[in-house]
Amino acid sequence: MAATSAFRSGLFNHKVAIVTGGGTGIGKAIATELVELGCNVVISSRKMERLESAAQELKEKIAPSSHASVTPITCNIRNEDEVKTLVSAVLKRYGRIDFLVNNGGGQFSSPAEHMSSKGWKAVIDTNLTGTFHCCKEVYTAWMKENGGVIVNIIADMWKGFPGMAHTGAARAAVDNLTKTLAIEWASKGVRVNAIAPGTIISKTAMENYKEYGPTLFKMSVPFSPAKRLGVPEEISPAVCFLLSPAASYISGATIRVDAGQSLYHSMWEIPDHSAWPEAPEGENLDTLRELLNPKSKL
């Protein structure tokens, strides 16, 4: 494996996990660590070519003595019927679904004023509605009667998400959905949590943003307290922790895996301007004016 898990070997023997968006980036790293820990992993996305490539790579690294397996299944999570087919196929093959990791998603960079309704809807349908489809179907088909663990991958949207309003809104909604489902499904033994990664660089992410990738990622470095970007292999251990018995009393939580980025300042630069109305008149405004335009002492 590219990285060695900090968790004990065989931790997830005989368990079954679905990882959406599992063929690339963060999803692939999660699938890799789960497989290393003995889990049977179903990776899913829209593109079978990517899934088969990732599955083959993972299979080659599974030790002969391991209980793990990897199965690629295509699914567009925007489509409820495709999600039902995915879950049904997993249950037919493995007879159980212990874990669901909702990593599937996508977005593009654009100021809100230039977003089309079609572009907005595509991102909301994938990142929010797709997550809901997967949660609901896995719950009704298996976890309602047998328990399980769900982990939703969201984003650092705590200060808003300038330049990506669509995914910021969707990820914030999934954060709330996580909390809601954690309460609604608690009596069925289902834990639901979320991971909020900071800026994570991967080969796939660089390719997805095309010629803008190097610029966008280089610009992000100064805004991380770590003064470097994260990699997918730094997200997967947090996911494995939440899936593990070590997190048996954790539900409805969102863990920020961002080196403190969400506490630091924003990448979105606001130019100097005078567009806002003046503050109310009075001695406090006089103090403000004096601060900004001190009187000459000459």
Secondary structure class of 106 (helix, strand, coil) = coil
CB 27 within 8 A of CB 101: yes
E strand or H helix at 118: helix 117-124
Distant-in-sequence, close-in-space partners of 124: CB < 8 Å, separation ≥ 6 = 166, 169, 170
Neighbours of 56 (CB within 10 A): 11
pLDDT at 248: 98
pLDDT at 285: 85
CB 259 within 8 A of CB 53: no
Profile the chain (298 residues) by mean pLDDT over runs of 10 residues: 78 98 96 97 95 96 93 97 98 98 90 92 96 98 98 96 93 98 98 96 80 82 94 96 98 98 90 90 87 74
Beta bridge partners of 194: 152, 254
CB 208 within 8 A of CB 277: no
Cα–Cα distance, 169 to 127 (Å, whole number): 9
pLDDT at 42: 98
Which CA distances in Å does 101 have to 28, 118, 124, 215? Answer: 11, 27, 18, 30
Structure tokens at 33: 């660590």
Neighbours of 182 (CB within 10 A): 19
Could you tell me where the DSSP H helices lie in 151-293? 165-184, 203-208, 213-220, 236-243, 283-292
Cα–Cα distance, 214 to 275 (Å, whole number): 33
Structural domains in the chain, CATH included, are 16-270 (3.40.50.720)
pLDDT at 1: 42
CB 205 within 8 A of CB 31: no
pLDDT at 3: 57
DSSP letter string over 174-200? HHHHHHHHHHHTGGGTEEEEEEEE-SB
DSSP letter string over 264-275? S--S-PPPP---
